[in-house]
A and B are shown apart, each in its own frame.
Chain A
Amino acid sequence: MPTLAHYLIVSGLLFSIGLGGVLLRRNILIIFMGLELMLNAANLSLVAFSRFNLLADGMPNYNAQVLVFFIITVAAAEVAVGLAIIVALFRAKQTTHVEDLNTLKF
């Protein structure tokens, strides 16, 4: 049987892969995908904690799953707004490469 530590380590690995994508990739869309991976890692650890900490009546702690539901909703809203900003940025600059977007750089 997988233990809670297994789930947390998988969640940490997923978060690290997402963080690596955000730090290393130069395409702004792929950076966005890395953010999604990190949000999913948080969801995985929340669901794991909900399943492993049963309430007094022997059922999973559904409050954590409600929080995951909220995170998924906010992530969907974030993707919509973020992609609209990326499209507006592409219209203005004709690029999605972050190294070409340096007009605010001091």
Chain B
Amino acid sequence: MQLVLFSIFSLLMLAFALGVVLLRNPVSCAMSLVMSFVALAAVFITLDAYFIAVVQVLVYAGAVMVLFLFIIMLLDLREEKRRRVRLSAWVGGGLVVGGFLAALIQVISALPALNVTKPVISQPLANDVAQVGFALFRNFNLPFQIIGVLLLVSTVGVVLLSKKELK
């Protein structure tokens, strides 16, 4: 049952990710990316990471994709014209991607330690959000504050970048 759900959602995720790369209309690419993120959230749930799944839907499928769609509408992007396909780029890109994938699959299949099924969690009904929150605020408090400063800096940077004329 777990394997079936995992397969369905990972195949959905990979198919929509392929849609992002292959579709020509930028709006279709963005919608495809949303579906890919939602399917990835479902894969996170098969790993019992409920908090991460919720954050994935809220932040990625919600905020980030709204920003993407907003910019696509703002720039008024049309369907891309069919330009001459550069054979060298496709061969080079295919070689890099294929080589990476082949190396990865070889490494993964050569390691029998990876061939384990999920161990049983001792408290399967424990509050996932509370656990992540404890780790975040007890062990990683300083990085958390630094991330807050980073968000502030990026907000100020975006406001500055969006000004009509920089002085």
Contact surface of A with B, Cβ cutoff 8 Å:
1-10, 12-21, 23-27, 29-30, 32-34, 36-37, 40, 43-44, 47-48, 50-52, 54, 57-60, 62-63, 65-66, 68-70, 72-81, 83-88, 90, 96, 99
The secondary structure that dominates the A interface is helix
Please, how many residues of chain B have a CB less than 8 angstroms from a CB on the other chain? 83
Cβ B83 vs Cβ A47 within 8 A: no
Are B26 and A30 in contact (CB-based, < 8 A)?
A: yes
Name the CB-closest residue of A to B151.
A77
Q: Once bound together, how far apart are the Cα atoms of A31 and B99, in whole Å?
A: 20
A62 to B158 CA separation, bound complex (whole angstroms): 32
Q: Which of A72, A80, A88 touches B60 (beta carbons < 8 Å)?
A: A72
* B56 to chain A: closest residue by CB: A72
B161 touching A57 by the CB < 8 A rule? no
Which chain A residue lies CB-closest to B36? A37
Are B6 and A2 within 8 A (Cβ)?
A: yes
- Which B residues, 31 to 78, have Cβ-Cβ distances below 8 Å to chain A? 33, 36-37, 40, 43-44, 46-49, 51-52, 55-56, 59-60, 63-64, 67-68, 71-72, 74-75, 77
In the bound complex, residues from chain B placing their C-beta under 8 Å from that of A58 are 119-123
Structural contact, B51 and A12, CB atoms closer than 8 A? no
